[in-house]
Amino acid sequence: MNPDDPLLQLLACPLDKGPLTLPPGREVLYNPRLQLGYPIVDGIPQLLPSSGTRVSPEDHERYTSSGEE
């Protein structure tokens, strides 16, 4: 999945229904509001509520440093 993928505009967090971001160089869709990352496995986003993992404050800063929060 790449940042220009139209599918990214349709995907939403299963918990708050808000948009997700794709941090550069990462295989994860990120919800900056809840600080949860959802893995992308073999090109398929794993968007079950139980798949979300809390990210560290350092990763949150890295994921949002591009200003796309």
At CA 35, angle to CA 30 and CA 39, rounded to 5? Answer: 40
Query: How does pLDDT run across 22-55, given as a tens digit for each residue?
Result: 998 899 999 999 999 999 999 899 999 999 999 9
Whole domain around residue 48: which residue ranges?
6-64
Give the CATH number of the domain where residue 25 resides: 2.20.25.10
Where residue 68 falls among pLDDT bands split at 50, 70, 90?
A: very low
Reduced to 3 states (helix: H, G, I; strand: E, B; else coil), residue 10 is helix
Q: Residue 67 pLDDT > 70, yes or no?
A: no
In a domain, 43, yes or no: yes
**How many domains does the chain divide into?**
1
Instruction: Note whether residue 69 is domain-resident.
Output: no
pLDDT confidence bin for 69, thresholds 50/70/90: very low
* The pLDDT value given to residue 66: 62
Tell me the three state secondary structure of residue 16: coil
1 assigned to some structural domain: no
Judge whether 49 lies within some domain.
yes
